[in-house]
Amino acid sequence: MKPFISSSDFPLLEQPVNGKRLVYLDSTATSLKPKVVLEAMDNYYRHVGANVHRGVYSLSSQATDLYEMARVSVARLISAAQPESLVFTRNTTEGINLVAYAWGLKNLLPDDEIVVSELEHHSNLVPWHLVAGYRGAKVKAIRMTTDGQLDLEHYASLLQSGKVKMVAIAHVSNALGTIHPIQKIVQMAHQAGALCLVDGAQSVPHLQVDVQDIGADFYAFSGHKMLAPTGIGVLYGKLEVLKAMPPFLGGGDMIDQVFPDHSSYAEPPMRFEAGTPAIAEAIGLGAAAEYLMDLGMARVQAHEQALTVYALEQLDQFEGVTTYGTRGANRSAVIAFNLENVHPHDVATFLDAEGICVRAGHHCAQPAMRALGVQSTARASFGIYNTKEDVDALVESLKHCIKFFQ
């Protein structure tokens, strides 16, 4: 298995951690950033610097061009038909909150139902709890199976109430890496008369995503998990659905006309981008999208899945290691695991001393942890910059860790 990219693309990989080579296995939490992304942001601050959508002077129109070109790049990455259907947000969490508040407060009535799943990240649960609370609606969850798949029969039975207005589901689970049959989930929601929001935080960075094929009404994701900076994310929405929604935040840049006592609003996406946006971050996101498209998302997925299969083969040979999640092709590059009698935090601390970064905890997925019957897990996750040597380093260190704690 050859390295997929040149490690020199990622400056952080050249920096030792605790005196050891950095083995970064926490891409599910956030990704490393390639030079092209850092350079794109640096270029904006050094050579452009102006605000967007405001001035007529040349630096301002250059800033606007760069910002809008980034929207076009990301639209191409997810095969959206119109760049205007992409709203820049801060992250996935903000995208979901935008829909929950702007769509939910307008459209949800008492006793309406929102369907989520037990496997969701808290950011696709809590916004719905809040808005359901304001509107007197109910949130119901699709059960997950013990190997981390969604129970589609249970989903079908939830849809039969005739009261479901929104289905909000992740495309890929951050806790277990399951790739859900998202097209089918969206179709079933639509057949039941509900809209569907897909949390794409873990899919856009790792899979070929085609929002038109998937057919979801909304698709939210974060820049920082897909090689781009923090502070920028995207909410894709079908244009007709976005057009029918009131704004989420009010302020400059999102208006049509303002009078002292009332205002009217711009068309999407501007309607949902109040105030000065994260300009450099959006430009960085555009560079990340171009970088991923140059690599090819099918190749990205194949590389990361090969690493996952290789890692699971090694871990299966260990006594006292439990791994969680499905073993089929519907698994992305996430390995949640526990070592017998060793707390996941101790595992992560032990590995850190070896320069290996893994996450430990409930992964912002407490309902999923409860369904698995555990408090927490350790989690190794892969990105395009990981190699077979990284997996070998993980496996060797886990052997030492098991011995140490015996």
Ligand X SMILES: Cc1ncc(COP(=O)(O)O)c(C=O)c1O
Q: Which of 22, 141, 169, 201 binds ligand X (CB under 6 A)?
A: 201
Q: Which of 199, 217, 304, 354 binds ligand X (CB under 6 A)?
A: 199
Joined tokens for residue 322: 């439990």
Residue 377 interacting with ligand X (CB under 6 A): no
Residue 91 interacting with ligand X (CB under 6 A): yes
Residue 222 interacting with ligand X (CB under 6 A): yes
- Footprint of ligand X on 162-181 (CB under 6 A): 170, 174
Considering the complex, state which of residue 103 and residue 265 has its C-beta at the smaller distance from ligand X: 103
For residue 341, count other CB atoms closer than 10 A to its CB.
Answer: 10
Considering the complex, state which of residue 201 and residue 356 has its C-beta at the smaller distance from ligand X: 201
Using DSSP bridges, classify how beta strands 233-237 and 86-89 pair: parallel, antiparallel or unpaired: antiparallel
In whole angstroms, the minimum distance from the beta carbon of 362 to ligand X comes to: 12
User: Which residue stretch of 61-69, 116-124, 132-140, 178-186 sits at the interface with ligand X (rule: CB under 6 A)?
Assistant: 116-124
In whole angstroms, the minimum distance from the beta carbon of 28 to ligand X comes to: 6
Considering the complex, state which of residue 25 and residue 201 has its C-beta at the smaller distance from ligand X: 201
User: Which residue stretch of 86-94, 110-118, 338-346, 393-401 sits at the interface with ligand X (rule: CB under 6 A)?
Assistant: 86-94
Integer Cα distance of 364 and 273 in angstroms: 27
Q: Ramachandran region of residue 351, left (φ > 0), alpha (ψ -120 to 50) or beta?
A: alpha
In whole angstroms, the minimum distance from the beta carbon of 232 to ligand X comes to: 10
- Footprint of ligand X on 32-51 (CB under 6 A): none
Considering the complex, state which of residue 278 and residue 398 has its C-beta at the smaller distance from ligand X: 278
Residue 202 interacting with ligand X (CB under 6 A): yes
User: Which residue stretch of 118-126, 143-151, 236-244, 336-344 sits at the interface with ligand X (rule: CB under 6 A)?
Assistant: 118-126
Considering the complex, state which of residue 113 and residue 199 has its C-beta at the smaller distance from ligand X: 199
Q: Are 285 and 36 in contact (CB under 8 A)?
A: no
Residue 121 interacting with ligand X (CB under 6 A): yes
User: Which residue stretch of 38-46, 88-96, 274-282, 354-362 sits at the interface with ligand X (rule: CB under 6 A)?
Assistant: 88-96
- Footprint of ligand X on 339-368 (CB under 6 A): none
In whole angstroms, the minimum distance from the beta carbon of 202 to ligand X comes to: 5
- Residue 364 annotated in active site: yes
Chain position whose Cβ is nearest to ligand X? 174
In whole angstroms, the minimum distance from the beta carbon of 227 to ligand X comes to: 13
Residues annotated as catalytic (active site), given as ranges: 364
Question: Which residues sit at the interface with ligand X, rule CB under 6 A?
Answer: 91-93, 121, 123-124, 170, 174, 199, 201-202, 222
